[in-house]
Structure 1
Amino acid sequence: MTSIALIGFMGSGKSTIGYQLASQNHRKFIDLDDEITKFEGREIATIFAQDGEEYFRHVEEKILNQFSEANVIVATGGGIVMNQNSREILKNCFHTIWLEVSYNVVENRLRLDDTRPLWKQSKEQRQALFERRQGLYEECADMRVSVNERSPNQIATEIEGSISFI
């Protein structure tokens, strides 16, 4: 069995859907952000503030690579596609599913979230970041699933119907 990676912009539901998918299919679920936090011993916002995004992306790549042959379901961070090496790992070592979400849905979901370093920008900057990443998600994805106005159960069911979990 191949490990599955869920990619998509922040707020697309990667962790929620990943957990549900793993539970329904008796596979281990890995939240990459949680693994990075454990590895570093500090929160992601602190890593960004103290060492910057480039350092964070390097650690993210290292942790992602550890699960490439682990037969797990991994919820990645929204910006994992910004690192070329991480994109190669996603394309070559995982069945990668893009949870595609509209910007308006993201904005609504994250309107009160102040924990995401790259969301703490102007609306124009957030929208530019969203648009910049879309092609990178597409480049890595083996499958694309729209998550707009759909429940985690509906999304997990669609993914299950498209992938063999045997």
Structure 2
Amino acid sequence: MKDNIVLIGMPGAGKSTIGVILAKVLGKDFIDADLVIQKEEGRLLSRIIEEEGPEGFLRIEERINKGLNPKQAVIATGGSVVYGREAMEHLREIGVVVYLKLSCEAVLGRLRDIRGRGVVLREGQTLEGLYEERSELYEKYTHLTIDEDGLTVEETLEKTLQAVNLLVE
């Protein structure tokens, strides 16, 4: 049985928020992969993207995510983790990957400062284009999908707990 839960999804989907509560309820550690990247690199995500460019950031993100080996943890990944095939294969091996799925409209409604959050956007790319591109990858790597549209944090948490418990039983 896999003893980690790995949350993937678009920025604003609530991976960190749900992850912290999920870890608390399940008695697991919580790891925010973006914070691990910032700590290891000694700079903010937005600064890494600015200095290394999107491709440089993605290489750093993949290296750090494929090096994660916790036991009994909930891992909230960055939204762009799905671009790293090796990292995603590793995360699927060490945990149950849960896609917190939110419609593009809902993501747009939740995000204010997309650049300040350290979101990887290529030159000229819109959030809608990014959503379309990543959705396919999230579906490819997930073990289970939680559709969060119209749900509160509590409802998303409950739905996630039920799905994870069914999967690991």
TM-score, scaled to structure 2? 0.87
Q: What is the aligned partner in structure 1 of residue 159 from structure 2? A: 158
Q: SS state of the match for residue 79, structure 2?
A: coil
Cα 1:102–1:86 change in 2 (3 A) is same
Displaced runs of 4+ in structure 1, greater than 4 A?
119-124
Paired AA for residue 150 in structure 2: E
Checking the alignment, whether the CA contact within 8 Å between 1:68 and 1:89 is kept in structure 2 is no
Mapping 1:31-70, distance limit 5 Å = 31-70=32-71
Paired AA for residue 66 in structure 1: G
RMSD: 2.3
Q: SS state of the match for residue 80, structure 1?
A: helix
C-alpha separation in 1, matches of 2:33 and 2:78: 7
Q: What is the aligned partner in structure 1 of residue 78 from structure 2? A: 77
**Is 1:96–2:82 an aligned residue pair?**
no
Query: What is the deviation of 1:104?
Result: 0.5
Alignment coverage as a number of residue pairs: 166
TM-score, scaled to structure 1? 0.89
Q: SS state of the match for residue 31, structure 2?
A: strand
Paired AA for residue 150 in structure 1: L
Checking the alignment, whether the CA contact within 8 Å between 2:81 and 2:88 is kept in structure 1 is yes
Checking the alignment, whether the CA contact within 8 Å between 2:80 and 2:120 is kept in structure 1 is no
Query: What is the deviation of 1:155?
Result: 1.2
Mapping 1:16-27, distance limit 5 Å = 16-27=17-28
Q: Write the deviation string for residues 20-77 of structure 1: whole angstroms up to 9, x where unpaired.
A: 1001111111111111101111000110111122222222223223333422100000
Q: SS state of the match for residue 116, structure 2?
A: coil
Q: What is the aligned partner in structure 2 of residue 28 from structure 1? A: 29
